[in-house]
Amino acid sequence: MSPRYRLFRRVMRALGWLLFGFTVHGAQRVPKEGPLILASNHHRYADPVLVCMAVPRRIQWMAKKEVFVPPFDKFFYFIGSFPVDRSKGGRTALKTSLELLTEGWTLGIFPEGTRRKAGRPEDAPKHGVAMLAARGGAPILPVFVSDIPSPLQRLRGKRLRIFIGDPINTDNTKNSKQARAEVAGEVLREIYALGEGSGAL
């Protein structure tokens, strides 16, 4: 982490704790080094920032190119996002992702593919998370972000909580479409199991 990013993260964590009771569970499960794919649920635009606040590693996020418009593009680049051109199949983003994993970075992905206010573990996830794990030789870290409490809910003790699960090591020799679908489904179920087990859903 750069000093500027480290400061940003500390300030956001302090604000999150003050306003929303920001609490992280399972931070010790994050591998300290090596390639890693972080897979999270996605309910709101702020999720990438919230996950960055929770995970003690610099994260690189895939983001649709449409959000990279001035002046917001500078912020997205600052938090580690890089553009994906969906109309072209995202080949450049795939190449970038694999290069980042080769260099030992943490790659952030939303397996559901888009923002969903009411995600469900039985929904069909995108297969990209499994494919990147296989080709990049990286474990997948499931993360669940709870709802942001309203002021009234905060008065009642509700907190913004983020749960980090155990890394999922996939069989990197499996490259079939069916195998990738099975791994992607397992990852999404693990993400929502973190929320269900804690009563956050």
Positive or negative torsion for Cα 100, 101, 105, 109: positive
Residue 179 has pLDDT above 60, yes or no: yes
Query: Helix crossing, 177-198 with 128-136: angle to 10°?
Result: 110
Yes or no: say if 121 and 190 are a contact pair by the CB < 8 Å rule.
no
Please report the pLDDT score of residue 134 as a whole number: 86
Query: Which pTM was predicted?
Result: 0.84
Residue 81 has pLDDT above 80, yes or no: yes
Q: Which of 67, 73, 90, 77 is nearest to 2 (CA)?
A: 77
Mean pLDDT score, 145-173: 88
CATH number of the domain that residue 184 is part of: 3.40.1130.10
Please report the pLDDT score of residue 124 as a whole number: 58
Higher confidence at residue 124 or residue 61? 61
For the chain, the domain total comes to: 1
Enter the tokens of residue 16.
Answer: 């999150």
How far is 111 from 38, CA to CA, in rounded Å? 10
Domain membership of residue 13 as a residue range: 3-198
Residue 119 has pLDDT above 70, yes or no: no
Residue 175: how many other CB atoms lie within 10 Å: 12
Residue 45 has pLDDT above 70, yes or no: yes
Query: Alpha carbon of 147 to those of 6, 23, 34, 42, 152: distances in Å?
Result: 25, 12, 30, 10, 14
Please report the pLDDT score of residue 195 as a whole number: 86
